[in-house]
Amino acid sequence: MIVAENVWFSYPSKVEALKGVSLTINDGEFVAIMGQNGAGKSTFVKHFNGLLKPSRGVVRVDGVETTKSSVAALARNVGFVFQNPDHQLFSETVEEEIAFALKNFGFEKEVIEKRIEWALNLLSLTQYRKTSPFLLSGGERKRVALASVLAWDPQTLILDEPTIGQDHEQKEKLRQFIMQLQTQKKTVVVVTHDVEFVAECNPRVVLMKEGKIVADGVGKEILTDPPLLELSSIVLPQIAQVFTKLSELGLPKDVIDIYEAKNIILKAKESRHR
């Protein structure tokens, strides 16, 4: 779905944000891109829908070079939710915000209404339907921005720091929805510092540092590798910290998922009582 080949990118200030980055994201894959501030994460994913164009190198989305297509054309298949929702909200009401892209893409009126209802219910925004997005909290505005993108059902979804400002309940809803998208073979790319959220989702993890990819692999393997995480200024997930200690008692060390942790502890308890 997304192929980046030897991508370099410099801002007008001459800051070199990407330095020869190559990455392939397959159709239907769930990828988390992680790293410290300034690692180049947001800059990199903005190449996935043409918001930024490579200074050198090539980015292809579903076989199309981004330099040979408009952002508007790419947006039909690649939905992007910004880290700061205020960068993409501008309508007078939440309802109008969600409807905007649907109208631009030529959806019929009845379909637009159904998509609006679906998005409002999904993200617990129904009560704010006639409210200005700018009167909502930061977390609520984030959900409005996400609803406005999900409504047109893009094949690829890019989420930049989606859990900022969200409580545990909303994070869990987001996790479950991403899992649902996976069953629909959607491609999901999440940029995040939220190591606990990534641990619970266990996607493919790409670590970036200083404009380069320093690791790429299975979430469980990367998020239980302290030296590698330290290189990217990422803290070991809490569950992994606990099981690192419990491994001295014979329990597995590579545990990052609270649900897996629960099953392991229950089985260990049952074994002791036999």
pLDDT tens digits, 105-116: 999 999 999 999
> Which residues in the chain land under pLDDT 70?
273-274
At 207 the three-state DSSP class reads: strand
Angstrom distance (rounded) from CA 57 to CA 43: 14
**Are 33 and 44 spatial neighbours (Cβ–Cβ below 8 Å)?**
yes
Decide if 147 contacts 102 (C-beta within 8 A): no
The two structure tokens encoding residue 152? 């047109």
The label of the residue with tokens 């505005």 reads 141
The pLDDT, as a whole number, for residue 238 is: 80
Distance CA 34, CA 53 (A): 21
DSSP 3-state of 109? helix
What does the pLDDT read at residue 273? 66
Q: Decide: 186 and 31 in contact? Cβ < 8 Å.
A: no
Token pair recorded at residue 250: 């014979």
User: Contact 109/177 with Cβ under 8 angstroms?
Assistant: no
Q: For the CA atoms of 31, 139, 167, 115, what is the dihedral angle to 10 degrees?
A: -70
Q: How far apart are CA 213 and CA 208, in angstroms?
A: 4
Tell me the pLDDT tens digit for each residue of 21-73. Answer: 999 999 999 999 999 888 999 999 999 999 999 999 999 999 999 999 988 88
